[in-house]
């Protein structure tokens, strides 16, 4: 029984060693506008659900340090994703060094500094985000005004088109009425002409009869 347990533990140890060899540790130093702009929270978010453990923290020289352990592919992806220039974050330089994983980290976390410093940093970050949201709101308002202006132009154009259509309908009605009137006038005229022609034919027939010519 004891031998079986030893054999089992040995196999587990071998598997653990194999997994550790597949895991890597990366040491990253990030420079740029990376403090008081929410960069650490951004790094934490980019590690979430990816099997990455370690930490991120601010350094006294204004840079940010990241120690991360995980599969090499995931760590390479992390390095790529955090190399950003997106307001208010601007990464200007990333120094990377690789080591074998130690397995000492249970999760990925932010290492906080002095409480007062952290509070001021959070306030700075919140104010930055509020300003960004305010700018976005102004842009959206401008777009909305332009959209309303364009909508008003379209409405005016539609009104103008409807007015022209009404004019065409009125013109069509007038033309129809004129045609109907013309038909009536023409019919009356032709009827009078036929009456006159008929009278003349009767007179001609009477004249021929008096002359002894039968028609």
Element (H, E) at 108: strand 108-111
Instruction: Look up the domain containing 93 and give its range.
Output: 2-113
pTM above 0.75, yes or no: no
In a domain, 198, yes or no: no
Question: Tens of pLDDT along 77-133?
Answer: 999 999 999 888 999 999 999 999 999 999 999 998 888 777 877 776 776 677 667
- Total domains in the chain come to 1
Is residue 205 in some structural domain?
A: no
Rounded to an integer, the average pLDDT of 33-49 is 92
Q: Is residue 149 part of a domain?
A: no
Residue 190 domain flag: no
Q: Work out the average pLDDT over 23-28.
A: 97
Please check whether residue 19 lies inside any domain of the structure.
yes
Q: Are 98 and 26 in contact (CB under 8 A)?
A: yes
- Least confident segment among 32-46, 49-63, 162-176: 162-176
**For position 75, which CATH number holds?**
3.30.70.100
Say if 96 falls within a structural domain: yes
102 lies in some domain: yes
Residue-wise pLDDT tens digits, 142-181: 777 777 777 767 777 777 777 777 777 776 677 677 666 6
Active-site amino acid positions: 40, 58
What would the pLDDT profile of 113-126 be if each residue is shown by its tens digit? 888 777 877 776 77
Residue 58 forms part of a structural domain = yes
């Amino acid at each position: 029984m004891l031998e079986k347990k030893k054999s089992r533990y040995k196999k587990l140890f071998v598997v653990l060693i194999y997994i550790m060899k597949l895991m890597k540790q990366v040491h990253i130093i990030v420079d740029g506008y990376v403090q008081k702009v929410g960069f650490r929270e951004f790094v934490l978010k980019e590690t979430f659900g990816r099997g990455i453990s370690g930490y991120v923290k601010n350094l006294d020289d204004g840079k940010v340090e990241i120690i991360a352990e995980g599969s090499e592919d995931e760590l390479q992806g992390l390095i790529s994703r955090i190399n950003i220039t997106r307001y208010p974050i601007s990464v200007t330089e990333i120094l990377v060094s690789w080591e074998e994983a130690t397995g000492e980290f249970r999760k990925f976390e932010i290492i906080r500094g002095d409480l007062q410093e952290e509070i001021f940093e959070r306030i700075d970050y919140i104010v930055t985000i509020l300003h960004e949201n305010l700018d976005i709101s102004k842009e959206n308002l401008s777009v909305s005004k332009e959209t309303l202006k364009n909508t008003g132009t379209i409405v005016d154009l539609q009104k103008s088109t409807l007015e022209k259509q009404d004019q065409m309908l009125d013109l069509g009605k007038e033309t129809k009425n004129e045609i109907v009137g013309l038909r009536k006038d023409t019919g009356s005229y032709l009827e009078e002409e036929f009456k006159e022609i008929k009278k003349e034919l009767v007179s001609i027939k009477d004249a021929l009869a008096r002359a002894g010519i039968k028609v």
